[in-house]
Amino acid sequence: MLWVQGPGDRKDAGTTAIRHERVTHSRGPRRPPDRWLATGQAAREPVRVMIRTAFLWLSALLVLAPRPDEGQWLPQQFLDRDWEELKARGLTLTKDEFWHPERGGVLSAAVQLGGCSASFVSPDGLVATNHHCGFAAIEQNSTPQANRLRDGFVAATREEELRTREVLYVVRRIEDVTAKVVAAREGRSDPYERMLATEATLRALVVEGEKQPDTRCSVATFFEGRQYLLYHRTQIRDVRLVYAPPRAIGEFGGEIDNWEWPRHTGDFTLFRAYVGKDGKPAAYAKDNVPFRPQHYLRVAKDGVKEGDLVMVLGYPGRTERYLSSFAVAERQGVTWPRREELMTRLIARLEESGEGDPALTLRLTTRIKALANVQKAARGQVWGLARNGVVAAKLREEEHFRAWVAADPQRAERYGSVLDEVIALDREAARTQVRDLVLGEMLRGLPFLRAWLDLYDALDKVPEDSAKVPAPLAAPLAAPALAADLQRVEKRLAGVLFEEARRLPGPQSLAAVAALGEGNGDQLAERVYGASKLASSEFRRELLAADKAALLANEDPFLRFARALAAERRAITKEAQTLAGRRLAVGPRWIEAQEAFRGKAFYPDANGTLRVSVATVRGFVPRDGVLYTPRTTVAGLLEKETGQEPFANPPALLAAAKERARSRFADATLGDVPVCFLSDADTTGGNSGSCVINGRGELVGLNFDRVFQNVVGDYGWSGERSRNVVVDVRYLGWVMESVLPAPHVLQEMGL
């Protein structure tokens, strides 16, 4: 998927994570088999072949049987769903109330915050999301002395709300620009040219769209380049922290419980969106005023129970549901295991870096948490792909597909080679997959190095040697922040990553690292970082004040390395664009064939755009003989209490728990305050913080995770094990009333 200006996935921060499960089976009417058998071509086939193909086709029908809650639907697609069926399940909203392309509706309360999802929950721009989505903002507002991450935070008044670096996007309008993009690349036979033309058109559309006042645009690619949508969004740059529970609540269970059920995590945080006095988006200013959203969610008073209809509205980051068996096998055998190993080493290094330094340890918490999340997810991918036999299932599906194509001359002509073409491209991509993984981690994990690479790229585009470094690029490099942890953190991480690079097989090797000579990763990192003068701000300032020629000639070992890697990255990018250009010639046809093969109700892979998932509150059977019920309570939370992190509840919670049966947030049927619940929604990374609403459009919870059995769900939804984990809004109410009280915020939320 190609995103212009798209934010990454927060919880999977630091990865271009490719996660997933078994083959996708989408629902919808299928072409009846008898019509298919009646085609002239099939009638001429020998009987034996006919019987075999008929058998394959019938079993394909069974495999592809409709699944009620599968799908991450685009807003327009969602409106086209069978509304009567949804009404029968408990939806009372009309289509217009749910989403109107011009007037918004309930769906317009769902916003994007960093790589997460969030939603408006008051007329004064109060925003609810996950604690793990607000984690960085809380950490940045914490010190070892005033540790808001540990103790939680309540702004007693609006003046006390804390400034953050968060940015929030509200979708205002979605425009189909497919025709323009496709026209711009038509007739271009060279794949690189085709990709460049596509990218240039997307950029031009963004520039054009942003001529409207206060608008930020992005174009998203759907269905492998078959459709393009332009999102007109309001960008809110003044986002303040209003409420955070103590970490022991917001992250209860830590990495042990992460991706697991039963769950007892109070994964919520509240922010407020601010705009200028004129109501227009503005940078932070003390006298900015709360944003008034077009729609905000009211909080449900009566909670959920098993079997209820719920809907998840948010911004799922990435799925790969239409992948070939070859590509899935590659993920399972190479990419995911390598990613897990790499995460393990990077985490160990970060932990070492912070040892004996509480301030640095605090600063590294967010990064460690993000890496640990990916580490466990990678483990889940490898486990799930194997356990569910995804590759074998994909192979079977491909066999059905080939039979279906061969059975009709028109299909054979249009799609006869498409699967082989896709696999050929996947094979090529696989050749550099590990190198791309390592390079990707270098760019994410070594921010100082990355900033220099970007600088050299920018200079590469400037013809004159006397050109000065543009101020926006020079400023962060000259400032102390980026270089602050150069020797203590970045050099150590570089040691791990250079070692990984050294281990790359020949054709994948990174020449810039190879050119550093003999030695292990740490020795190479010492040669680049240890021997450099760049830690000195004065040296950097002087350098950045010079011109392009001076920067190209400087022989500081770090700069020499950065120049070599920047040039190599440019060559790699060109290779990737060429491959992407070739995919553009195949992908749309592949998807078209998949749609025809699978049936009408067909949704695109997740790509960080606004989606709706319909679901039922329900438990599941994680393994033979074990049944997970779908709701947890404070009783279960107390059972997990050990007094040790990550299972140590704050004393205020333990005290309040004694009185909880009388709380208005207790559930009558459970006889307790509910904490989390499961549903079978179709979600992925990026859906964290998504509002979960009932059939009346009221907030019942915040999505924050999936179960371990569903980490691999990105390869396909399954009725048996696709379960997402939601924190019940009544737990939020109880914590904010009885544990770390914020009565004024509850009141604002109508509670």
Q: What angle do CA 643, 645, 646 make, to 5 degrees?
A: 115
Segment 455 to 514, residues that bind ligand ASP, using CB under 6 A: none
Our finding on whether 325 is near ligand ASP (CB under 6 A) is no
| Alpha helices by DSSP H, 297-408 | 325-330, 336-354, 358-387, 390-406
Nearer to ligand ASP, 71 or 354 (CB): 71
Beta carbon of residue 621, minimum distance to ligand ASP (angstroms, whole number):
20
Around Cβ 338, how many Cβ atoms within 10 Å?
A: 17
Distance, CA of 545 to CA of 236 (rounded, Å): 33
Q: Tell me the closest approach of the beta carbon of residue 692 to ligand ASP, in angstroms.
A: 12
Examine residue 369 and tell whether it contacts ligand ASP (CB under 6 A): no
Measure the CA–CA gap between 552 and 535, rounded to whole angstroms.
19
CB nearer ligand ASP, residue 114 or residue 209: 114
Q: Quick one: which segment of 199-207, 471-479, 668-676, 678-686 binds ligand ASP (CB under 6 A)?
A: 678-686
* Cβ neighbour number for residue 278 with a 10 Å cutoff: 8
CB 352: neighbour CB atoms within 10 A?
Answer: 11
Nearer to ligand ASP, 166 or 705 (CB): 705
Partner residues linked to 699 by β-bridges: 299, 693
Peptide bond preceding 447: is omega within 30 degrees of 0, i.e. cis?
Answer: no
Cβ atoms of residues 90 and 695 within 8 Å: yes
Q: Quick one: 116 or 155, whose CB is closer to ligand ASP?
A: 116
Which of 129, 366, 687, 718 is the binder for ligand ASP (CB under 6 A)?
Answer: 687
Q: 397 near 57, Cβ under 8 Å?
A: no
Q: Which residues pair with residue 244 across a beta bridge?
A: 153
Q: Please choose, from the candidates 429, 742, 452, 476, the residue with its C-alpha nearest in 3D space to the C-alpha of residue 587.
A: 429
In whole angstroms, how close is the CB of 622 to ligand ASP at the nearest point?
A: 16
* 269-277, 500-508, 568-576, 679-687 -> range binding ligand ASP (CB under 6 A): 679-687
What residues between 690 and 749 interact with ligand ASP by CB under 6 A?
704-706, 724
Distance CA 60, CA 596 (A): 13
| CB contact set of 535 (below 8 Å; sequence gap of 6+) | 483, 486, 487
User: Contact between 686 and ligand ASP (CB under 6 A)?
Assistant: yes
The one-character DSSP state at 73 is B
Nearer to ligand ASP (CB atom), residue 147 or residue 388: 388
Residue whose CB is less far from ligand ASP, 540 or 721: 721
Q: Which residues pair with 468 in a beta bridge?
A: 547
Q: Residue 521 or residue 689: which is nearer to ligand ASP going by CB?
A: 689
Taking phi over 0 as left and psi of -120 to 50 as alpha, with beta for the rest, 311 belongs to beta
C-beta of 221 vs 381, nearer to ligand ASP: 381
Which of 8, 354, 521, 685 binds ligand ASP (CB under 6 A)? It is 685
**Which sequence positions are flagged as catalytic?**
132, 267, 688
Which tokens in the block code for residue 535?
Answer: 């830690």
Shortest Cβ distance from residue 17 to ligand ASP (Å)? 9
* Binding-residue total with ligand ASP (CB under 6 A): 12
Give dist(CA 389, CA 720) in Å, integer.
Answer: 15
* Cα gap 203→5, rounded to integer Å: 9
Structure tokens at 262: 């039963």
Q: Are 597 and 36 in contact (CB under 8 A)?
A: no
Quick one: which segment of 218-226, 491-499, 664-672, 681-689 binds ligand ASP (CB under 6 A)? 681-689
Positive or negative, the CA dihedral 297, 300, 301, 303 is negative
Q: Are 230 and 204 in contact (CB under 8 A)?
A: no
Residue nearest to ligand ASP (CB): 11
CA gap 482, 189 in Å, rounded: 43
Pick the binder of ligand ASP from 24, 388, 633, 684 (CB under 6 A). Answer: 684
Q: Angle 31-32-35 (CA atoms, 0-180°, nearest 5)?
A: 100
* Closest CB 13 distance from ligand ASP, rounded Å: 9
CB of 702 to ligand ASP, least distance (A): 11
Q: CA-to-CA distance for 92 and 655, rounded, in angstroms?
A: 40
Q: Which is nearer to ligand ASP, 244 or 407 (CB)?
A: 244
Single out the residue of 127, 214, 216, 218 nearest to residue 164, CA to CA. 127
Tokens of 452: 């220099």
Q: Of the ranges 138-146, 345-353, 594-602, 683-691, which one interacts with ligand ASP (CB under 6 A)?
A: 683-691
DSSP string, 91-119: ----HHHH-BTTTB-GGGGEEEETTEEEE
Q: Which of residues 9-38 bind ligand ASP (CB under 6 A)?
A: 10-11
599 touching ligand ASP, by CB under 6 A: no
Cβ distance to ligand ASP smaller for residue 53 or 710: 710
Here's the x/- map for ligand ASP, 188-217, by CB under 6 A: it reads as ------------------------------
Which residues of the shown chain bind ligand ASP in the complex (CB under 6 A)? 10-11, 683-688, 704-706, 724
